[in-house]
Amino acid sequence: MTELPRKAAARTARLAALPLGYAGRTALGFGKRIGGQSADAVLSEIQQRTAEQLFRTLGELKGGAMKFGQALSVLEAALPDELAGPYREQLTRLQDSAPAMPTQQVRDALERDLGPDWREQLVWLDGGPAAAASIGQVHQGRWHDGRLVAVKVQYPGAGEALRSDLKQLSRLARTIGTLVPGIDVKPLIEEMQARTEEELDYRLEGRAQQSFAEAFRGDPEISVPDVIAAGDTTLVTEWMESTSSLAAVIADGTRAERDHYGELFVRFLVSGPTRTGMLHADPHPGNFRILPVEDGRPGRMGVLDFGAVARLPDGEFPVAMGTLLRVAGIEDHDQLLEGLRREGFVKDNVRIDPELLLDYLAPFVEPTRVERFRFSREWMQTQFQRVNNPRDPAYTVALKLNLPPSYLLIHRTWLGAVGILSQLEAEVPFRQILAESLPGFAEPGPASS
C-alpha cells in the first residue's frame, strides 16, 4: 500500500471511530448510573469526552474533517449551554488553529508553482508557519521588491484528503449528528462537497481575493490584502499585520470591541456582493483579523481566505431577498407567502399557515425590526430550540419549505454570520446596514406621477 492510500485508510478509520467512541462512552455512562452517579454528572462527563475526541480528531485530520468542524463551530451559539459548555473550548480552538506541515513540503510546492527560480522572487521565507487551516498553511516571506508577503501553500494530497473526508463524513452523517445534538449535519456536508473543487483552486481564489482587494481599497474600516502571485497550490499575497482575530474578541473582547467588530463584520458581508458581485461564504472567526490601533481609534478589520465565495448571478444579492425581509419585518403575511412562492421557497401545491411561516423566519427577521439589535447566545438558543422542537407549531413549517439552489450558499453564510454575531453578543445597526446595501430592503420611494 502506497503512502497516500495508507494515510487515507487511517483517516477513514479515525472518522469511523467517532460514533463508536460515543457509543462506548454512553454504555460506560449507563454503568455509572447503575452504580449510583447522577444522570447530569454522567451526561456532562460523556459530553466532555465526546467533544474532546470529536474536535481533536477533526483538527488533526485537517481536510474536509477539519473544515466540517469549523463550520460546526460557527453554530456553537445555537446549542443550549448544558450541551455547548463541554464543546465550546474545543470549537473555539478549532476556529483558529491546525497542525503544521514540514518546511520541505512547502519548498517543493513553491518550486512546482513558481518555478525553479522561485527564490529569486521570494527572497526570504520563514521556516515556521504563521497560520494553518483546513487545506493549507501560511508562511511569512519577503518578495523581491521588499514587500512582506503571506505565502499560502496547500497541503500535499489535500484534494484527495478533502474528497475522501467529505465522502466518509457523508456516510457517517446520521451517527455523527448524535455527537452534536440539534444540528442537521447532512446538508452541511453536501454543501461542502459541492464547493470542493473551487476551494482547491488557488488561482480561482486569487482572482476572487484580488477583486475584493480592489473593491475595498482605501476603505476606512475593511482591509483585504492584494494578490502578488498564484499557482495551482500556492497563493502569495501582501502580508497583513494583525493583532488577533474575531475568535479572540469572542473569547475576551470588551463590550465596545464586540459591537465595533460585529458591525464591521456585517457591513463587509452585506456590502461585498454590491462591490464585487461575490459573497464571502466562509464566515468563521479565524478569517476575520483585528488590525492594529490607528491614531487612537480601533483597528480596521482584515479579511482573509476567499476560497469559498458565492458568485451571484446578477452580481448582487437577489432583490427578492431584501424585499421579503422587508415585508416580513412589517408582518405582511400574505405578501410574504406570495413572494416565497414566487422565489420557489414554497411549492405551488404546498399549503402553509402565513403566521406560522413568519414565526419560523423570526431568527432572520427580528434583527431587522429595530434600530439596533443585540445578538446573544440566549437569543439564538431560544430561536434554535423553537424551530427544532416537534411540539412547537413552527416546527412543521420547516418540513414544507424548499431551499432553491441559488439561495443555498447565501442561506448557509447568513446562518453562519448570525452564529458569529451571537457568539460575539454584538449590538449592531442591522436594519440600517441592510437598507444601505441589500437590494430591495429599503422602503420603496413614492410612485412618480
Tell me the domain boundaries of the chain: 3-98+172-182, 103-158+196-238, 319-437
User: pLDDT digit string (tens) for 9-61?
Assistant: 555 555 555 443 433 333 333 333 333 344 444 344 544 555 555 555 554 44
> Given this model, what pLDDT does residue 37 score?
44
- 175 — pLDDT class (breaks 50, 70, 90): low
Q: Residue 379 pLDDT more than 60?
A: yes
- 90 — pLDDT class (breaks 50, 70, 90): low
d(CA 304, CA 205): 11
Kindly report the average pLDDT of the chain as a whole number. Answer: 77
User: pLDDT digit string (tens) for 433-447?
Assistant: 999 999 999 866 444
Can you name the residues that pair with 7 across neighbouring β-strands?
none
> Given this model, what pLDDT does residue 4 score?
41
> Given this model, what pLDDT does residue 292 score?
93
- 133 — pLDDT class (breaks 50, 70, 90): low
The residues near 150 (Cβ < 8 Å, ≥ 6 apart) are 130, 138, 139, 140, 141, 225, 236, 237, 238, 239, 240
User: pLDDT digit string (tens) for 183-226?
Assistant: 556 666 666 666 667 778 899 999 999 999 999 999 999 999 99
- Higher local confidence (pLDDT), 227 or 449: 227
Residue 316 CB-density burial (10 A; 0-12 exposed, 13-18 middle, 19+ buried): buried
Q: Residue 67 pLDDT more than 50?
A: yes
Tell me what percent of the chain is helix, strand and coil, each rounded to the nearest 5: 60, 10, 30
User: pLDDT digit string (tens) for 321-357?
Assistant: 999 999 988 888 888 889 999 998 888 888 888 888 8
Q: Residue 410 pLDDT more than 80?
A: yes
d(CA 279, CA 273): 5
> Given this model, what pLDDT does residue 285 score?
87
d(CA 84, CA 76): 7
> Given this model, what pLDDT does residue 449 score?
36
> Given this model, what pLDDT does residue 95 score?
44
* DSSP string covering 178-189: TTSTT--HHHHH
> Given this model, what pLDDT does residue 397 score?
81
pLDDT above 90 covers what percent of the chain? 38
User: pLDDT digit string (tens) for 237-252?
Assistant: 999 999 899 989 998 9
- Higher local confidence (pLDDT), 449 or 226: 226
Q: Residue 288 pLDDT more than 80?
A: yes
Q: Which CATH class is domain 103-158+196-238?
A: alpha beta
Q: Are 91 and 76 in contact (CB under 8 A)?
A: yes
Q: Are 181 and 47 in contact (CB under 8 A)?
A: no
- Higher local confidence (pLDDT), 214 or 305: 214
Q: Residue 236 corresponds to which cell in the numbers above?
A: 502569495
Q: Are 198 and 308 in contact (CB under 8 A)?
A: yes
**Mean pLDDT over residues 76-90, rounded?**
56
